[in-house]
Structure 1
């Protein structure tokens, strides 16, 4: 059956390309995917399915095989990023300042393709396939958490959840995966350091929040370098600092934004407390005030070892063992993590770079694009993995 599925997936390539190009040209921001959801709904209805809305712009549909058997959920995200596309391609974004720079158009296309392939053979498997087209992966609190809250993992409850994501570091025809802890939790940090501004030539009359901010940014790194277990990956980064003074003006306050990421939920909570104590205590010791807001983001993404082992074996049968790569841990974050916390799950990476080296630009850049041969690979593989899990 594997050869038949490969052949059928390859035959879908022109249709998949058209689907992806339509989605790429019409991107929508997180939780605003109304036209995308309508497009997905129309395509699912054309397959004879009965899609329904979950969590606003989320779309869910069931492919029901023979009675009995497990329930395998397949997830794709649909939202785009606030990035202006720079590539001059026929399918370039038609929405100014919005771009599918993270490949969610690819994910949605591959899941639609997998749905088509699975619908065609639904009389040959037992169980149910739950198709989850998710909004808002790029924006807290994450569409996955809202869909779960709205009951997407109920009626029927999936026995496992599988998701895939583009990966330009790998060429078309390869995938990457990793059992266990794979991706990090992510928290947003917002700090406001309040002092007393004034003339830069009279610092004795002021309380310089810039100096306090400089000490704090350096001192905060000891949370990672000295408080964290050296074997536990952690990242504390500050990417935005606003001290709106001048060459001879000390401002009243400094505003800082950053992120904290790790692969352990217990240490995550401890680090929050350490950071809060450091910010408040260091600022107070220098006569200033530091207000810290921690916006808790996505949890750690854990790939269930048993499910991931089965996915690896099935992928090796479909792609060849040499094309299934073991990935390192990665401190980027993904709200698929919510699914991985709620059910046995596997999240793997789909190679999208051309074999000749084209399409190697990273995600979240204005020139990101893919070798569209990845579409039939992604759709066929997802269908194959599902059939193996069902059977």
Structure 2
């Protein structure tokens, strides 16, 4: 690894470039499936570095670093590029210039970090006994996501991808730490939309009405039984409803109620059974009251499985580089990620990068208007993904 160490030292100013790239992306966020300017910008940086790329979807792109030709096998490194419909409330001088759109989930960090890694890998490509595919993926934040389209295009198979590595910032982990979870690291995610139709009227005469508010209340409580009484307690499961709209008044029973929620788990067999039970319970409850319901279950991303061998390899590398106290095991995160689609087809690892710095006040959670990262993390995050990629590539 001596040549790699030398290259890292010589090119340490790449971190300054990475910060510049990140700040440009942060100022110009774009929503899922709309990342045209982002795609153009990333393409311009890759061209400047000297890395060829192509597009297999309207937004996002795939870069390719060819090694010394001794092997046609490749690994893939993935970063997502889309932003969220959030108005930024930070005070630094590179806040979002697009009203109502913000990089509140760190995708600007993921993309700029991968550009830095790409720069370093391209500098030593003649030493690589294999190739590196760079996935700058669109639309992670919006179902159906962008990963499945990339896989369906066949480009990863064409480049003989053997393993896929991705990362995500974590404001819950201290700055400079790396979090790893073998096996199922993140949950599946399905969205539930329920419209209950009854018969509205005066609140003083409930006997003349068919109250959808009462029915919805029964459902909100009853559906929790699916998790508490049908799920194996050893399988993580979450059912939450975040939207209840009745549009009545203090003395007006409405005609209908709209419910919207999410179901998450890490077991695909239980996922299918749970969704079936949820739908049946809705139908039975509504029918028992003589009302009707329209049910839409929007299937989201599958659970994300981290390959145990790959996880151990990179967790050990992080411990070697930064000390075991900075290479930690983390619990399953019940959020979802379309990186899971890569992991269904290829041995994969999705790890977490700690960016929390309480001294600087950088503590806001993901998907909030004040989310930010401590940019000093790049010194480790670029180095770790770079060295991790080289290590994995050398052992294909």
2:8–2:120 contact (8 Å) kept in structure 1: no
In 2, Cα distance between the equivalents of 1:198 and 1:8?
A: 76
In 1, Cα distance between the equivalents of 2:376 and 2:8?
A: 13
Pairing 1:154–2:162 present: no
In 1, Cα distance between the equivalents of 2:148 and 2:128?
A: 30
TM-score normalized by the length of structure 1:
0.97
Find the counterpart in structure 2 of residue 180 from structure 1: 183
Find the counterpart in structure 2 of residue 67 from structure 1: 69
Q: CA deviation at 1:5?
A: 5.1
Please point out which of 321, 343, 347 is paired with 1:344.
347
2:189–2:262 contact (8 Å) kept in structure 1: yes
SS of 2:87's equivalent in the other structure is coil
SS of 1:356's equivalent in the other structure is helix
Q: CA deviation at 1:334?
A: 0.8
Cα 1:5/1:165, change in 2 over 3 Å: farther
Find the counterpart in structure 1 of residue 369 from structure 2: 366
CA RMSD of aligned residues (A): 1.3
Pairing 1:18–2:27 present: no
Q: CA deviation at 1:377?
A: 1.8
In 2, Cα distance between the equivalents of 1:103 and 1:86?
A: 15
Q: CA deviation at 1:198?
A: 1.0
Pairing 1:86–2:89 present: yes
Cα 1:170/1:36, change in 2 over 3 Å: same
Q: CA deviation at 1:357?
A: 5.4
Find the counterpart in structure 1 of residue 326 from structure 2: 323
Q: How many residues align?
A: 391
Please point out which of 91, 110, 114 is paired with 1:111.
114
Find the counterpart in structure 2 of residue 37 from structure 1: 39
SS of 1:162's equivalent in the other structure is strand
Please point out which of 276, 299, 303 is paired with 2:302.
299
Find the counterpart in structure 1 of residue 221 from structure 2: 218
Find the counterpart in structure 1 of residue 6 from structure 2: 4
TM-score normalized by the length of structure 2:
0.96
User: Unpaired runs of 5+ in structure 2?
Assistant: none
1:51–1:62 contact (8 Å) kept in structure 2: yes
1:184–1:333 contact (8 Å) kept in structure 2: yes
1:187–1:298 contact (8 Å) kept in structure 2: yes
Please point out which of 246, 249, 274 is paired with 2:249.
246
Cα 1:174/1:6, change in 2 over 3 Å: farther
User: Unpaired runs of 5+ in structure 1?
Assistant: none
